[in-house]
Amino acid sequence: MARHVLLAGIIGSTAYGLAGPGSDVDRIGVFAVDTVELHGLRAPRESYVTTRPDVTLHEAAKWCRLALGANPTATELAWLPPDLYETRTALGDDLVALRRAFLCAPRVRAAYLGYAARQLRTVERRLTGPGGANPRVAKAARHLARLVAQGRQLYRTGTVEIRLADPEPVRRFGERVAGGDLAAAYRLLAEAGDDLDRGRSPLPDRPDDEAVERWLRAVRAAHLAVA
């Protein structure tokens, strides 16, 4: 398992305010390998994923690549409310302070709407497949609405609130779609795309790769010695 965890916290439905009685608690984190491991014949492991408990840990370089691509799950780790962090080192704090450097308007639009489109395909497949509506349809629809809301916010303002200010409309949307209103899901995604196409973003056209590179090199310097 990962040794040097730099930053880790609770994400998913619990973080969004959408958790129900049977919801799992999802966690994500960033870890560093001993720098010497990067010079061997075989590359060190970049991710550790477990279920029960649901934990995903990414090595620092991989997490940076994911965040530079505006991957929503990776991105949210850097924007969690303080009470949801379970591990915060000095380098983890530096990463949170650097979170805007990973962002750029084109990638935020593409990633958030792209992941929302994947949730829409999941909704459609589950709703029209054998058995029809089931609780997993509502869950996928909720995540569709959540991704759209957070993507719009991040694109428009350059910041994102992981904990939804009012989760009830998202819950109601999930139930409406699960009840058969697939058109509402298509409409939500189309309206979001139109909205972002019309609006302007304070985010730059490219992320600050140099700032990210400096942080990653600081991680490597801090882990030169083999413990």
State the SS3 of the chain. CCCEEEEEEEEHHHHHCCCCCCCCCEEEEEEECCHHHHHCCCCCCCEEEECCCEEEEEEHHHHHHHHHCCCHHHHHHCCCCHHHEEEECHHHHHHHHCHHHHCCHHHHHHHHHHHHHHHHHHHHHHHHCCCCCCHHHHHHHHHHHHHHHHHHHHHHHCCCCCCCCCCHHHHHHHHHHHCCCHHHHHHHHHHHHHHHHHCCCCCCCCCCHHHHHHHHHHHHHHCCCCC
Whole-model pTM: value is 0.93
- Per-residue confidence (pLDDT) for residue 20, from 0 to 100: 82
- Please compute the mean of the pLDDT values over residues 160-164 and round it to a whole number: 95
Tell me, what's the pLDDT at 21?
80
Res. 23 pLDDT band, cuts 50 70 90: confident
Q: Residue 226: which pLDDT band, with cuts at 50, 70 and 90? A: low
Tens-place pLDDT, residues 37-63: 999 889 999 999 998 889 999 999 999
Confidence band for 133, pLDDT divided at 50, 70 and 90: low
Averaged over 191-203, what is the pLDDT?
Answer: 93
Q: Which domains are seen in the chain, by residue range?
A: 4-102+208-222 (3.30.460), 105-198 (no CATH)
Residue 132 has pLDDT above 70, yes or no: no
Mean pLDDT of 167-190: 94
